[in-house]
């Protein structure tokens, strides 16, 4: 039991440390506000094509065992 | 409805250049003011176009056609979005599907003709059926059966359905760096109703270069299968069916969006969801096969009553000059032991005037089989079935999608507006993996036909 608790704590500490490192890394990335010209382009938006995504999600949801990732994996369709 | 200002175009000279500069300035200002890339702030992608409170309308008509006489579908879809003066956003979507054609019922081909009942049928006999109605009177109907020729994939030839889905999402800025979102979706088919609600929160860090988000979703589905919901693992010939069934699901998603540099934006989502209830496909059966390859009967499929899925999704957007790229990957695993990998890449190439583009795309997908997937049931084995499904969508396969999209911005000098027309054609091919060889007479038959489909999408947004 102790081993399990220790393993659990070590795993949590590693996750917290990884998260802290990730956030610290994020702080050194990015751009200044006046450097967002390319990021402001329509084709750089993560949801630039909501209809294409919706149509694709519906097609793949009805033909494959996986769905979601970009958004929720819910059904909303009786096809699978 | 007010249309948005005209963007760039091949014509227009200095005036067009001025408009282009103004438009870019507005877009950049919008990014500064809060159009960060968080998924939770979906509507902000359109904010540069609706900064002055105009409605954006995005519409498409999709036509989907599977090979071998299988499903055909036509799907009109329209999306409305608006950013209000106080920063609130609204996005609504309406979808209608109409499907028809043949759909596999899960049974294997045979060297003998096979007779099946349509979902609404209550007998495998060709004779008219007499039954007692809800008012207690006797009624007679002609048999609703279909016969599959030897060697052919058993498919219900009379499949047809319509779906209407409506969704709405609101975004609400709580502070300069904190945004809330909430929404809902209603989907209706004659044998299926789904209602879901979602809520989320997103927080920006480091001059809006980093966004952390968290979303939850709750879904409730009501199934009213045509002819009733079959008792799982029951004998197909006995037509043991019950009334409507339900299933419900809860999902949550953590997201991290990061501006990597001036040309690269990345997003990672961790998702977890759990569905519980009647998770069977009420129209899918399995063949019971003898050692000689003969079909001795059929059972309705039986899936576990819960399913937990976990996925990691990573998307990257990058742009260089007239090129932009979207690369995404996903890994998913679920409690049915399905593992899947997905990778998708699209590259958009603009012409020098930035009013036309070509966008090739490719997608690769691979999944392992669910642990209860079996193409058939051995007639010499135990008749007790814990879980079993022959649904090819739960089998092992890989799939490729190849596609090409063309888009053109259309300017109207009369009313100073712009719109965009696009057409996309995708080809999808699914190939089964790890195929078991059928016993006896099944060895010469194509038990795993795979799937090929074409998707054509015509879009118009203004």
* Closest residue on chain A to B334 (Cα): A66
Is position B6 within any domain? no
**Residue ending a domain, choose from B96, B127, B148:** B148
Please state the rounded mean pLDDT for residues B152-164.
Answer: 92
d(CA B359, CA B15): 29
Same domain, B269 and B234: yes
| pLDDT digits 0-9 by tens, B288-328 | 999 999 999 999 999 999 999 999 999 999 999 999 999 99
Please state the rounded mean pLDDT for residues B440-456.
Answer: 94
| pLDDT digits 0-9 by tens, A27-58 | 778 999 999 999 999 999 998 899 999 999 99
Same domain, B253 and B311: yes
Report which listed range, B9-23, B38-52, B158-172, is most confident.
B158-172
What burial letters (b/e) apply to B274-313, b meaning 16+ CB within 10 Å? bbebbbbbbbbbbbbbeeebbbeebbbbbbbeebebebeb
**Residue ending a domain, choose from B123, B148, B173:** B148
Chain A CB within 8 Å of residue B361 CB: no
Chain A CB within 8 Å of residue B271 CB: yes
d(CA B449, CA B429): 11
Same domain, B215 and B309: yes
d(CA B409, CA A11): 52
Largest CA distance in chain B: 82
CA B255 to chain CA centroid, nearest Å: 21
The token pair at B133 is 């109605």
Residue A20's region, left for phi above 0, alpha for psi from -120 to 50, else beta, is alpha
Same domain, B123 and B242: no
Is position B167 within any domain? yes
Chain B CB within 8 Å of residue A1 CB: no
Chain B CB within 8 Å of residue A8 CB: no
Same domain, B192 and B234: yes
Residues 6+ apart with CB under 8 A from A2: none
Q: Which residue has the higher pLDDT, B180 or B144?
A: B180
Please state the rounded mean pLDDT for residues B226-238.
Answer: 92
pLDDT exceeds 50 at position B42: no
Contact B342, B364 (CB under 8 A): yes
Same domain, B136 and B261: no
Same domain, B118 and B48: no
Contact A37 B206 (CB under 8 A): no
Is position B2 within any domain? no
**pLDDT class for B114, splitting at 50, 70, 90?**
very high
In B, residues 69-128, which contact A (CB 8 Å cutoff)?
Answer: 75, 77, 79, 91, 93, 95, 97
Query: What is the span of the domain harbouring residue B130?
Result: 114-148
Angstrom distances, CA of residue B68 to CA of A64, B43, B101, B154, B206: 18, 40, 10, 12, 54
pLDDT at B135: 61
pLDDT exceeds 50 at position B3: no
**pLDDT class for A18, splitting at 50, 70, 90?**
confident
In B, residues 224-243, which contact A (CB 8 Å cutoff)?
Answer: none
pLDDT exceeds 50 at position B380: yes
Contact A73 B394 (CB under 8 A): no
Contacts of B393 in chain A (CB under 8 A): 63-65, 80
Is position B320 within any domain? yes
Contact A53, A69 (CB under 8 A): no
pLDDT exceeds 50 at position A16: yes
> What's chain A's length in residues?
80
Same domain, B213 and B274: yes
Minimal Cβ distance to B394: which of A22, A65, A69? A65
The token pair at B355 is 């009013």
Number of domains chain B is built from = 2
**Residue ending a domain, choose from B128, B148, B168:** B148
pLDDT at B147: 92
Is position B169 within any domain? yes
The token pair at B51 is 């900064």
* Closest residue on chain B to A33 (Cα): B32
**pLDDT class for B120, splitting at 50, 70, 90?**
confident
Is position B3 within any domain? no
pLDDT at A34: 94
The H or E element containing residue A24 is helix A2-27
Chain A CB within 8 Å of residue B169 CB: no
Contacts of B338 in chain A (CB under 8 A): 65-66
Taking 3-state DSSP, the helix, strand and coil percentages for chain A, each rounded to the nearest 5, stand at 60, 0, 40
- The DSSP line for B286-321 is EEEE-TTS-EEEEEE-B--SEEEEEEEEEEEEEEET
Same domain, B220 and B259: yes
Mutate to test the interface with B, among A24, A28, A50 (most CBs of B within 10 A): A50
Is position B328 within any domain? yes
In A, residues 12-71, which contact B (CB 8 Å cutoff)?
Answer: 22-23, 26-27, 29-48, 50-52, 54-55, 58-60, 63-66, 68-71
Same domain, B124 and B225: no
pLDDT exceeds 60 at position B420: yes
Contact B28 A69 (CB under 8 A): no
d(CA B12, CA B85): 30
Is position B33 within any domain? yes
Direct distance between the N- and C-terminal alpha carbons of chain B, in angstroms, rounded to an integer: 11
Same domain, B123 and B250: no
pLDDT at B106: 95
Direct distance between the N- and C-terminal alpha carbons of chain A, in angstroms, rounded to an integer: 41
* Closest residue on chain A to B400 (Cα): A60
Residues 6+ apart with CB under 8 A from B92: B79, B80, B81, B166, B167, B168, B169
Residue B17 belongs to a domain with what CATH number?
Answer: 2.40.160.40
Q: Which residue has the higher pLDDT, B209 or B13?
A: B209
Same domain, B315 and B445: yes
């Amino acid at each position: 039991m102790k081993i399990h608790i220790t393993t659990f704590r070590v795993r949590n500490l590693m996750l917290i440390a990884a998260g802290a490192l990730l956030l610290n890394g994020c702080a050194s990335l990015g751009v200044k506000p006046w450097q967002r010209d390319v990021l402001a382009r329509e084709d750089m938006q993560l949801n630039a094509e909501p209809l294409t995504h919706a149509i694709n999600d519906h097609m793949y949801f009805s033909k494959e065992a996986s769905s979601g990732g970009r958004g929720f994996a819910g059904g909303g369709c009786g096809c699978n | 409805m007010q249309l948005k200002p005209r963007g760039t175009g091949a014509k227009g000279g200095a005036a067009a250049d001025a408009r282009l500069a103004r438009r870019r300035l507005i877009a950049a200002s919008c990014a500064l003011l809060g159009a960060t890339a968080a998924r939770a702030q979906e509507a902000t992608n359109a904010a540069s176009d609706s900064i002055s409170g105009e409605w954006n309308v995005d519409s498409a008509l999709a036509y989907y056609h599977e090979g071998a006489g299988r499903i055909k579908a036509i799907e009109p879809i329209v999306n409305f979005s608006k950013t209000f003066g106080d920063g609130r956003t609204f996005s609504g979507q309406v979808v209608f599907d109409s499907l028809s054609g043949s759909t596999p019922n899960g049974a294997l081909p045979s060297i003998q003709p096979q007779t099946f009942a349509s979902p609404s049928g209550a007998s495998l006999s060709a004779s008219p059926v007499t039954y007692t109605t809800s008012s207690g009177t006797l009624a007679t109907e002609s048999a609703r059966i279909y016969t599959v020729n030897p060697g052919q994939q058993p498919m219900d030839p009379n499949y047809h359905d319509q779906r209407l889905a409506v969704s709405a999402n609101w975004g609400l800025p709580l502070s300069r760096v904190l945004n809330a979102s909430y929404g809902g979706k209603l989907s209706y088919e004659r044998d299926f109703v789904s209602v879901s609600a979602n809520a989320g929160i997103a927080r920006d860090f480091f001059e809006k270069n980093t966004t952390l988000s968290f979303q939850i979703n709750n879904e409730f589905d009501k199934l009213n299968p045509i002819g009733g919901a079959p008792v799982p693992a029951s004998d197909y010939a006995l037509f043991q069916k019950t009334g409507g069934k339900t299933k419900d699901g809860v999902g949550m998603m953590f997201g991290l969006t990061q501006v990597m540099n001036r040309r690269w934006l990345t997003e990672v989502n961790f998702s977890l969801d759990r569905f519980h209830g009647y998770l069977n496909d009420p129209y899918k059966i399995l063949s019971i096969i003898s050692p000689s390859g003969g079909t001795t009967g059929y059972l309705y499929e039986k899936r576990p009553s819960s399913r937990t899925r976990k996925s990691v999704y990573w998307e990257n957007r990058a742009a260089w000059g007239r090129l932009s790229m979207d690369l995404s990957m996903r890994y998913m695993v679920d409690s049915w032991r399905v593992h899947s990998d997905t990778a998708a890449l699209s590259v958009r190439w603009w012409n020098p005037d930035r009013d036309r583009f070509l966008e090739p795309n490719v997608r690769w997908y691979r999944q392992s089989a669910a642990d209860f997937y079996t193409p058939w049931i051995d007639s010499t084995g135990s008749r007790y079935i814990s879980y079993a499904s022959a649904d090819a969508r739960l089998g092992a396969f890989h799939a490729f999608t190849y596609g090409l999209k063309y888009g053109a911005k259309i300017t109207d000098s009369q009313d100073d507006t712009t719109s965009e027309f696009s057409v996309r054609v995708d080809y999808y091919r699914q190939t089964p993996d790890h195929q078991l060889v059928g016993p006896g007479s099944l060895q010469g038959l194509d038990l795993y036909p795979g799937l090929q489909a074409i998707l054509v999408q015509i879009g118009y947004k203004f």
